[in-house]
């Protein structure tokens, strides 16, 4: 790591942690903003390696112009305990060596809690970006990661008012909470024109065609045959109306094979499976989709920002603001409910009236930096 000769006492050395796919678009604008304030910030990027496939990791560095990691921990896949423990074991020496002023963690993946826990034990200040979101479903691994990270972080950057309310209700002092808006929207706004100009739709034979876009990777949907089959039954009906593009997450690819569902997936005409897409290609497709079906958290937010109808194939959401103000409908995994909600969305106008949650304005990373400076004096 090129971090020697750190000349200014006032400069803040910040380790920015990335681990899994949904982290990259949150950290990229923050690191870019830090590089624009070189007299104040010395940003380092540590990649835990939780995601390691080129399609799940490298392509995001390129698309988001995220600098190569200063350190790669190379932890890879494993059970939750193994993965979390491996991140902790490998991250601790990096923190001891670098002595950062802050460590910044984002989101709710295993790398987030693992790195936050290392820091709190070492007495190094941690800031959590995307704090306070709650699904109130403790069977979701991410919910545990969110709850615990927020309890131990020093500074909590929230995307929306509901997150502030959740944190206050959990007894977190108000002075640790900063409502800064949604940092993913910084990336989205920066990349939208570039993404729209790509030939992604043409290459998939979708130019001028109405299509739906689908992502599925939650263990509760794809690891269980019954829920996966209920969703597939609905997709069969929807795909009879318009093609559905389905970039398949590695976990989902694995479980389709393990559950013996490959033939069933292949039999659904116009359910078009493709490799996981990079950030810009996915944005190209999502920004012009007639409908998005997903169990992802971030995609509920991106479709809200884009004004694209979104059906969330889960029983709950930790992002209620996307339902309150945006285009998201939480439909669950009941076949009939999915089909009915898809019909309603497809029969409505292609785009709903755009209402944006406050501070989802592309300036969130700047507000995060302002707050880090303020809390460091």
Positive/negative CA dihedral, 59, 52, 286, 186: negative
Query: Contact 14/102 with Cβ under 8 angstroms?
Result: yes
C-alpha to C-alpha distances, 291 to 130, 243, 350, nearest whole angstrom: 26, 11, 8
Q: How far is the CB of 22 from ligand UD1 (least distance, A)?
A: 5
Q: Which residue among the candidates 47, 51, 128, 217 is catalytic per the annotation?
A: 217
Phi first, then psi: what are they for 230, rounded to 5°? -60, -40
Looking at the DSSP assignment, which residues form a beta bridge with residue 158? 179
Strands 155-158 and 177-179: parallel
- How far apart (Å, rounded) are the C-alpha atoms in residues 358 and 96? 38
The residues of the shown chain that bind ligand UD1, judged by CB under 6 A, are 20-22, 50-53, 56, 77, 108-110, 141-142, 217, 249-251, 254
The reply to whether 161 belongs to the active site is no
Q: How far is the CB of 108 from ligand UD1 (least distance, A)?
A: 6
Q: How far is the CB of 341 from ligand UD1 (least distance, A)?
A: 22
The first and second tokens of residue 155, run together, are: 């500074």
Q: Which residues contact 71 (CB under 8 A, 6 or more apart)?
A: 1, 44, 45, 46, 47, 94
The DSSP output letter for 17 is: E
The first and second tokens of residue 135, run together, are: 């699904």
Q: How far is the CB of 54 from ligand UD1 (least distance, A)?
A: 9
C-alpha to C-alpha distances, 215 to 114, 277, 283, nearest whole angstrom: 26, 11, 13
Q: How far is the CB of 300 from ligand UD1 (least distance, A)?
A: 12
CB nearer ligand UD1, residue 141 or residue 307: 141
CB nearer ligand UD1, residue 252 or residue 304: 252
CB nearer ligand UD1, residue 316 or residue 356: 316
* CB half-sphere exposure, 366, CA atoms < 13 A: 7
CB nearer ligand UD1, residue 22 or residue 362: 22
CB nearer ligand UD1, residue 22 or residue 243: 22
224: exposed, middle or buried (C-beta count within 10 Å: 0-12, 13-18, 19+)?
A: middle
- How far apart (Å, rounded) are the C-alpha atoms in residues 171 and 195? 42
Give the residue numbers marked as catalytic: 217
């Amino acid at each position: 790591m090129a971090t020697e000769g750190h000349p200014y006492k006032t400069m803040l050395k910040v380790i920015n942690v990335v681990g899994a796919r949904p982290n990259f678009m949150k950290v990229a604008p923050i690191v870019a903003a830090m590089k624009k304030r070189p007299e104040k910030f010395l940003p380092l990027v540590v990649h835990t390696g939780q995601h390691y496939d080129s399609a799940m990791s490298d392509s995001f560095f390129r698309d988001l112009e995220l600098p190569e990691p200063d350190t790669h921990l190379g932890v890879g896949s494993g059970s939750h305990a193994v993965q979390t423990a491996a991140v902790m074991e490998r991250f601790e020496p990096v923190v001891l060596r670098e002595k950062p002023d802050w460590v910044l963690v984002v989101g709710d993946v295993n790398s987030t809690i693992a790195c936050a826990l290392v820091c709190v034990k070492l007495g190094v200040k941690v800031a959590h970006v995307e704090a306070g979101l709650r699904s109130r479903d403790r069977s979701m691994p991410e919910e545990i990661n969110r709850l615990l990270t927020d309890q131990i972080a020093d500074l909590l950057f929230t995307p929306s008012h509901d997150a502030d309310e959740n944190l206050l209700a959990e007894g977190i002092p108000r002075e640790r909470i900063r409502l800064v808006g949604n940092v993913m929207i910084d990336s989205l706004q920066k990349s939208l024109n570039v993404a729209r100009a790509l030939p992604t739709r043409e290459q998939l034979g979708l130019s001028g065609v109405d299509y739906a876009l689908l992502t599925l990777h939650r263990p509760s949907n794809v690891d269980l045959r019954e829920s996966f089959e209920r969703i597939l039954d609905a997709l069969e009906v929807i795909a009879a109306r318009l093609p559905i593009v389905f970039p398949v997450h590695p976990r989902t690819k694995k479980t389709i094979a393990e559950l013996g569902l490959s033939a069933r997936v292949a039999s659904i005409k116009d359910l078009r499976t493709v490799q996981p897409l990079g950030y810009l290609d996915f944005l190209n497709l999502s920004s012009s989709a007639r409908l998005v079906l997903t169990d992802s958290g971030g995609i509920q937010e991106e479709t809200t920002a884009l004004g694209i109808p979104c059906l969330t194939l889960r029983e709950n959401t930790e992002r209620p603001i996307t339902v309150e103000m945006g285009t998201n409908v939480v439909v669950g995994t009941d076949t009939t409910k999915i089909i009915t909600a898809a019909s309603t969305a497809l029969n409505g106008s292609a785009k709903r009236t755009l209402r944006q949650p406050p501070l989802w304005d592309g300036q969130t990373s700047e507000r995060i930096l302002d707050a880090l400076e303020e809390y460091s004096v």
